[in-house]
Amino acid sequence: MTRYAAGVEYIGTGYSGWQALSGRQTLQAELERALARVADHPVFTTAAGRTDAGVHALQQVVHFDTDAERSDYAWLLGTNSNLPGDLSLRWAQAVPLTFHARYGAIERSYRYVIHNQRARSALMLNRASWWPRPLDADAMQLAARALIGEHDFSAFRDSQCQAPSPVRELRRVEVRRVRDFIVVDVVGNAFLHHMVRNIVGTLAEVGQGRRPVEWVAAVLAGRDRREAGITAPAGGLYFVGPQYPAEFALPKPPQPWFPA
């Protein structure tokens, strides 16, 4: 039996999220069907994170076990020939059986993209969220500083979140303007359900001038989801990817290209 790790890229618009669900079109189910065609036996994958419906990924990482003898290139070419155009295997390589895509990740990165224009863009549909009111990226960045470090993020978790603990560590939150876009990069050890989207929705309240910079720290301390901002739309969120210990020699998450 050989364990493989693989990097997966996708546009999540047409799917009910990552996790396989009966009766729904999901990314995991599509990938497992394609891998099974190459392996000639059922394949079950474990992912670094379960992205929601409509969320995209630059490098989701999965692992799977197989007794099929195929080259790395055969896995790559064969799997992609059986996948739809919005879902692609970017690399695959054998790893030790000790590798675990979810529990072995030491860091995860997300990018959220806001198209900040008065008129909505047809080309940005489901690639960036649309916020018509002007946003102050500098104010959002100042407010985001309160989120750095290890905290109880109950105020930013979805009510259906099943994580046993709300404590997470954010290592970087960077907000900046790139022409007509507001870009929010978030890096942490792990994330709660809807955590990044809830953070963005809360920071946007400050960016629009509806709340002071200090309000975000108060929301965090209050641990009450009802006091935070909205859940930002899924289409603006990209799972950039996880990082693993150097011993596994896996490709690092790519440099996000959008917006340039």
CA distances from 6 to 29, 64, 105, 241 (A): 15, 8, 14, 12
Q: Which token pair is 162?
A: 């099943």
52 has catalytic annotation: yes
User: How far is it, in rounded angstroms, from Cα 74 to Cα 169?
Assistant: 38
Among 52, 67, 72, 158, the one annotated catalytic: 52
* Residue 168 identity (one-letter amino acid): R
User: How far is it, in rounded angstroms, from Cα 258 to Cα 53?
Assistant: 20
Sign of CA dihedral 205, 211, 213, 217: negative
* Residue 215 identity (one-letter amino acid): W
10 a known binding residue? Answer: no
* Residue 7 identity (one-letter amino acid): G
| Residue numbers annotated as active site | 52
User: Which segments are annotated as binding site?
Assistant: 110
Give binding residues for substrate as ranges.
Answer: 110
